């Protein structure tokens, strides 16, 4: 993967913009980070809460609730793989290993901690999961498509975030597939419904020190959640805890970004799509942690050296064919 990201038109344009201006939760959630926040972030020169800076993905958590012994029952799974995967992306290679643990799931509503899929959608998700070796059922992210929301904020290796602010706008850059968002704060209406975007159309406002973003106008070819780094102590199969959950063009997401301390942003997202889910559902976790000084965005060369999509389309295993030729 090439380790340099400058030169991309979208990023240059966004950076130029930045220079223009100086529910009650269950008890187990409150005990693990869902308590009210009394931290007051610093202010920008124009008085908004200051979210500017570089951030890394937060703590890894499974998406859904699992039975206490369900991880161990997964056939052929090594519980150590999850911790090893998480450690691989640790920015400080000399940091001492953290104790293995499986943290609470991201889903805080509904109370059972499960994605509330309609029966037909649950059946289709099972079909997707069973046929991941077919192009039609492949994770859209593997095809280097936009990751949609809230998936763009789920913990994953090889992702850094940069948040820029100018009066009236918050701008978010994602290392993941060079995604970006302009979030106007002036109360303007959403785009007309016939305009569809992979990352949706964002409109934001402040509620105290919390940035609230309403997102609509999604395309229907992404997954709202998906794989991320497995939590320490969980098997590598935790990577797929959100796989196969899809949505329609009526997806509606409401995000909330709140500083819980000087270096940590809590992320809450409520996901609604009456065509696919039986009810709105909410995830919450500490999604962003401030990056070390000198951190930067790198190029995410998604398709560099990637021949698997071609193999899936043609039905030919290029690697195996090369071995046979030799």
| Residue 1 included in any domain | no
208 vs 41: CA distance, rounded Å: 11
| Residue 91 included in any domain | yes
> What's the mean pLDDT in 21-30?
37
List CB contacts of 307: < 8 A, sequence separation 6 or more: 318, 319
| Residue 4 included in any domain | no
> What's the mean pLDDT in 148-155?
91
Ranking 37-46, 124-133, 164-173 by mean pLDDT, the lowest is 124-133
Look up the domain containing 238 and give its range: 9-325
- Which pLDDT value is given to residue 172? 98
Of residues 142 and 93, more confidently modeled? 142
| Residue 2 included in any domain | no
- Which pLDDT value is given to residue 36? 66
Ranking 20-29, 71-80, 277-286, 297-306 by mean pLDDT, the lowest is 20-29
* pTM for the structure as a whole: 0.77
**pLDDT classification of 60: cutoffs 50, 70, 90:** confident
214 vs 200: CA distance, rounded Å: 10
pLDDT tens-digit map of 288-321: 999 999 999 988 888 777 776 667 666 655 555 5
Q: What Rg value do the Cα atoms of the chain yield, rounded?
A: 20
CA atoms within 13 A on the CB side of 266: 20
pLDDT tens-digit map of 226-283: 865 555 555 555 555 688 999 999 999 999 999 999 999 999 999 999 999 999 999 9
Of residues 114 and 1, more confidently modeled? 114
- Which pLDDT value is given to residue 312? 64
| Residue 98 included in any domain | yes
| Residue 3 included in any domain | no
The number of domains in the chain is: 1
79 vs 175: CA distance, rounded Å: 29
The mean of the pLDDT values for the chain is 78
- Which pLDDT value is given to residue 143? 79
Ranking 57-71, 110-124, 312-326 by mean pLDDT, the lowest is 312-326
Ranking 30-39, 72-81, 176-185, 310-319 by mean pLDDT, the lowest is 72-81
| Residue 84 included in any domain | yes
Q: Is 74 within 8 Å of 64 (Cβ atoms)?
A: no
Tokens 């340099």 label which residue? 4
Ranking 100-114, 204-218, 258-272 by mean pLDDT, the lowest is 100-114
């Amino acid at each position: 993967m090439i380790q340099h990201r400058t030169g991309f038109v979208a990023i240059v344009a966004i950076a130029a913009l930045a220079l223009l201006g100086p529910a009650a939760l269950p008890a187990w959630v409150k005990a693990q980070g869902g308590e009210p926040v009394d931290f007051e972030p610093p202010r920008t020169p124009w008085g908004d809460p200051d979210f500017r800076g570089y951030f890394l993905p937060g703590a890894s958590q499974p998406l859904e609730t699992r039975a206490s012994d369900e991880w161990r029952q997964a056939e052929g799974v090594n519980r150590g793989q999850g911790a090893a995967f998480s450690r691989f992306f640790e920015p400080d290679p000399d940091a001492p290993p953290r104790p293995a643990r499986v943290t609470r799931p991201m889903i805080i509503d509904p109370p059972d901690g499960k994605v509330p899929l309609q029966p037909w959608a649950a059946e289709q998700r099972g079909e997707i999961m069973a046929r991941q070796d077919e192009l039609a059922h492949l994770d859209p992210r593997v095809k280097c498509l936009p990751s949609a929301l809230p998936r763009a904020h789920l913990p994953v290796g090889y992702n850094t975030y940069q948040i820029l602010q100018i009066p009236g706008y918050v701008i978010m850059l994602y290392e993941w597939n060079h995604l970006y968002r302009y979030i106007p704060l002036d109360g303007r209406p959403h785009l007309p419904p016939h305009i569809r975007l992979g990352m949706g159309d964002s409109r934001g406002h402040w509620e105290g020190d919390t940035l609230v973003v309403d997102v609509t106008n999604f395309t229907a070819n992404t997954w709202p959640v998906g794989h991320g780094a497995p939590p320490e102590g969980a098997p590598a199969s935790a990577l797929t805890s959100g796989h196969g959950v899809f949505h329609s063009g009526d997806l509606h997401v409401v995000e909330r970004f709140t500083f819980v301390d000087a270096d940590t942003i809590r992320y809450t997202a409520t996901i609604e799509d009456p065509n696919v889910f039986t009810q709105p559902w909410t995830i919450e976790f500490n999604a962003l942690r401030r990056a070390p000084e000198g951190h930067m965005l790198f190029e995410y060369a998604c398709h560099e050296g990637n021949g698997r999509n071609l193999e899936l389309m043609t039905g030919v295993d290029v690697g195996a064919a090369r071995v046979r030729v030799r």
